[in-house]
Chains A and B, each alone.
Chain A
């Protein structure tokens, strides 16, 4: 999607290793979000950010940490990857003013073996 990119697009990693996913935006939006999507669960919020160095937990935050040192970048880290974290991860952004929709990235497919 225009203005938001996720990297990598695909990753396979071993159980117990740390993994960092990156979300980069060029829209200068204030809010950034990390979701995971698993079959039968829809999208579930992991963490979100409402400004540089301002983050908060979502409904499935255990095992994940985030950082936002710049407006344009929001990093999601799996401290010690487990097989239950095999999922598709989506980043989203929003400006935080008025009534509008979120913009989602194309996703990162992570497999933990």
Chain B
């Protein structure tokens, strides 16, 4: 099973950038890094994904190291609504993966 390692919890001040790390040392060359988040008891929400290059969208930026063994999700200006559990996953991106969710990082945004 695909395994990732994330800190159990993190705090970030409102308005500052939140940087969430993820280690995925067993990732293979054709596997994408995906980030999801789960707010309260809602269904997980897709944030961003990438293969080799850094990616940015309206929600976040994703920085992937050159060796692809780790990545960082960046929320540039965290708000209270970003308080959630963030999951880092890797998969081949064909849509037929049995995604394996770990326990993620509980991010708390402090007013």
Contacts and interface: CB of A to CB of B under 8 A. Distances in A.
Interface of A: 1, 30-31, 33, 35, 40-45, 48, 50, 58-59, 88, 90, 92, 94-107, 109
Interface of B: 32, 34, 36, 41-47, 49, 51, 87, 93-96, 98-104
Contact of A98 (B87, B93, B100): B93
Nearest 3 A/B pairs, CB to CB? A101-B46, A104-B43, A96-B95
A100 B36 CA distance: 12
Contacts of A101: 34, 36, 46-47, 49
B105 to A, nearest CB: 12
Given A98-B93, A99-B32, A104 B45 contact: yes
Nearest to A104: B43
Contacts of B46: 101-103
Given A88-B41, A101-B46, A104-B44, A43 B95 contact: no
A99 B86 CA distance: 20
